[in-house]
Amino acid sequence: MLEEKLKQIPTSPGVYIFKGKRGNVLYVGKAASLRDRVRSYFGQYDGSLKVSLIRQNIADLEWIATDSETEALILELNLIKKYKPPYNIRMRDDKHYPFVKITLNEPFPRIVIVRRVGKDQARYFGPYADSKSLKEVLRLLRKNFQIRQCNIPLTGEERLRPCLFYHIGQCLGPCSGEVSRERYMEAVQEVITFLEGHSEELREMLWNKMMEEAENLNFERAAKLRDRIRALDRVIDKQKVVFTNPVDEDVISFAQQEDAIGAQVFMVRAGRLIGGRHFLLQGVEGESKEEITSSFIRQYYQGELPPPLIIVEDIPEDAELISRWLSERKHRDVLIRRAEGDEEKELVEMAKRNAQLALRAKLEEGETKRRKAMESLEALRLALQLDKIPFRIEGYDISHLGGNQAVGSMVVFENGEPQKSKYRKFNIKFTEKIPDDYAMMKEVLRRRILRGKKGDEKFLPFPDLIVIDGGKGHLSSALEILFEENILPPTIGLAKRLEEIYLPDASQPLRLPEDSKALHLLQRIRNEAHRFALTQHRGRREKAAFMSALEQVEGIGKKRRKMLLDVFGTIEELKKASPDKIARLAGVPLKVAERLLEVLNKQTGEAESNQVSDDD
């Protein structure tokens, strides 16, 4: 079958997908000519470890033809992100660095710190490596540019009593009507100019305004501008000057230690080093420096807007293609090149040293973490008298409200650490009127075991230990299913009240010391199963409430309800949107969107009216 497919591959640009025996995606690649690139894997062996592994494991292949190489590049990135193939280079951030969010999707924007970039109309800056310094910078920005700090939804029509921040001169007071939206947005734009890295330009602009106000004898306004300039100077002084010219660029360098590779990105804006990020790269075995650089740049800038210049040590073969793609996203030319001049070369060396230090620290941290995890697992083996160390542990819990929207959770810990990509939820089908947690637990375990028996990789391998959130009754229910299905891993119940461990065939529960490493690991697993079940149950309830509210609107069928749910998520978010926005994002007619908001607002009014009656 593979040979026949090889004959059918087109010569057009596109993406190819290599799959394993069970249909799992092994590798995703892009090509200017699909036929030439894919056939190269099956020609004369070039000695590459990755090619050897792919050739040994490939059972099937697919391809998607595109109109251009740029489309192929974008599609490849999306597929790698979706499937996380084991033989692709994958970028893993050390942690979620903070971003600055300017809520431009609000009439009177705020400045907030977030950990993820949302799909909204807000403006994001970052990420910033030093969250402590970032908080100090934001404190100064809010104080001296007088941006509001409250979460009150404002339209500009409010005439509220201003808070303390207004009275001490740290807020312009948009809630009270004391400032026009134009004046407020002027302050917001000044903050944006600073965060874009143009602090010197901002300083010059504020200086000119101050002089103008002084000339017009507006001394109070001039004094406020003077204070803002002084605050800005304090912030600027904290940023390291690395270039004599006010250039905007990113500098990327790599470090390798054994089989691990770390990447360091330095962000230079207006000639000042404003931050850096470190990443670990996976799936790099046998890859050239050029290919590693190419994969990293493509993945990193999939979520970041690039500066006009990217400095690297090794120029990728597809650098021109990547530049075209980035230029289209930036709407201006983006150049990838090696360092030129002493300043750039010095910064590349500094990035490399930082990459080496961060990689060494990360590997040492990982080794310490692994050692502690193994100590906990060995302690657990001894405490439960297991035959072997439980490298894979699964935790289970049930969450429901009076039996409604019940959800079962399965969390997976491997080598003592949570593997969130392997968590699974079960929308419970149990339909008896009286809630029965034992029956629900039986259903969840039976469904999990049957999926594993059918060879579903999402439920393999079977665990070395099962932890049930509950006492003797929950454990007995679980054991009943395990015996029926002849899958018999060690299984325990952990009750919350006294942290008692219930064991099969034991007349009394086991109590471990409060400082026991084994108990702490079991508690982590039990608590994580409970958290995941609760989160999934809450989501299911909110979805049901969302769908129920929309069922009463004429013209909103099943497909449109799902689209609205995907776009807005909650009724509250939907009610905030304008009819135009609903029509545009969810693809519904404008009249239907208007009717939808009318019905939702009517429901809210009736609910509030009923609440008043109940209170009376």
Report pLDDT digits (tens) over 399-452: 987 767 889 999 999 999 999 989 999 999 876 767 789 999 999 999 999 999
Q: Which residues are CB-contacts of 471 (< 8 A; sequence separation ≥ 6)?
A: 493, 495, 500, 502, 509
C-alpha 300, offset from chain centre: 13
User: Domain containing 574 — which CATH number?
Assistant: 1.10.150.20
Which residue type occupies 337?
Answer: R
Confirm if 116 and 263 have CB atoms less than 8 A apart. Answer: no
Within this chain, do residues 11 and 41 fall inside the same structural domain, yes or no?
Answer: yes
Determine the average pLDDT of the residues in 361-369. Answer: 86
Provide the pLDDT for residue 418: 95
Domain boundary among 519, 539, 559: 539
Confidence bin at 51 (pLDDT 50/70/90):
confident
370 occurs within a structural domain: no
Which residue type occupies 98?
Answer: P
Q: Which residue is associated with the tokens 């891993």?
A: 489
What values do phi and psi take at 98, rounded to 5?
-75, 150
Q: Count structural domains, the chain.
A: 4
Q: Which residue has the higher pLDDT, 160 or 526?
A: 526
For the stretch 153-175, pLDDT in tens is 888 888 888 888 888 878 888 99
N-term to C-term CA, the chain:
75
Q: In sequence order, what DSSP letters do the residues of 344-392 get, joined into one string?
A: HHHHHHHHHHHHHHHHHHHHHHHHHHHHHHHHHHHHHHHHHT-SS--SE
User: Which residue range is the domain that position 611 belongs to?
Assistant: 551-615
User: Domain containing 509 — which CATH number?
Assistant: 3.30.420.340
323 occurs within a structural domain: yes
Provide the pLDDT for residue 543: 74
Provide the pLDDT for residue 614: 39
Within this chain, do residues 478 and 340 fall inside the same structural domain, yes or no?
Answer: no
67 occurs within a structural domain: yes
384 occurs within a structural domain: no
Provide the pLDDT for residue 247: 85
Within this chain, do residues 425 and 499 fall inside the same structural domain, yes or no?
Answer: yes
C-alpha 213, offset from chain centre: 46
Q: Which residue has the higher pLDDT, 615 or 364?
A: 364
In percent, the amount of the chain with pLDDT more than 70 equals 89
Within this chain, do residues 335 and 423 fall inside the same structural domain, yes or no?
Answer: no
Within this chain, do residues 446 and 319 fall inside the same structural domain, yes or no?
Answer: no
Task: List the single range of 38-47, 66-75, 332-341 with lowest mean pLDDT.
Answer: 38-47
Provide the pLDDT for residue 126: 65
Q: Which residue has the higher pLDDT, 396 or 58?
A: 396
Provide the pLDDT for residue 607: 46
183 occurs within a structural domain: no
Alpha carbons 375 and 521: distance in angstroms, whole number: 10
C-alpha distances out from residue 10 to 38, 67, 159, 531, Å: 10, 12, 66, 49
For the stretch 258-267, pLDDT in tens is 778 999 998 8
Provide the pLDDT for residue 431: 66
Share the mean pLDDT of the chain: 84
In percent, the amount of the chain with pLDDT more than 90 equals 34
What values do phi and psi take at 113, rounded to 5?
-100, 130
Domain boundary among 27, 58, 88: 88
Provide the pLDDT for residue 613: 37
Provide the pLDDT for residue 71: 85
C-alpha distances out from residue 87 to 93, 507, 542, Å: 18, 50, 39
User: Domain containing 42 — which CATH number?
Assistant: 3.40.1440.10
22 occurs within a structural domain: yes
Within this chain, do residues 428 and 482 fall inside the same structural domain, yes or no?
Answer: yes
Within this chain, do residues 504 and 569 fall inside the same structural domain, yes or no?
Answer: no
The pLDDT of residue 340 is above 80: yes
Q: Checking phi first, is residue 555 left (phi over 0); if not, alpha (psi -120 to 50) or beta? A: left
Using CA of residue 579, residue 583, residue 586, residue 591, what is the dihedral sign?
positive
Confidence bin at 612 (pLDDT 50/70/90):
very low
Domain boundary among 484, 514, 539: 539
DSSP 510: B
**Tokens at residue 27, please?**
């590798």
Within this chain, do residues 424 and 483 fall inside the same structural domain, yes or no?
Answer: yes
Max mean pLDDT among 11-25, 204-218, 483-497, 566-580 falls in 483-497
Within this chain, do residues 257 and 338 fall inside the same structural domain, yes or no?
Answer: yes
Within this chain, do residues 424 and 562 fall inside the same structural domain, yes or no?
Answer: no
444 occurs within a structural domain: yes
Q: Which residue has the higher pLDDT, 67 or 293?
A: 293
Task: List the single range of 61-75, 118-132, 286-300, 386-400 with lowest mean pLDDT.
Answer: 118-132
587 occurs within a structural domain: yes
Provide the pLDDT for residue 609: 46
The pLDDT of residue 148 is above 50: yes
Within this chain, do residues 397 and 352 fall inside the same structural domain, yes or no?
Answer: no
Within this chain, do residues 567 and 476 fall inside the same structural domain, yes or no?
Answer: no
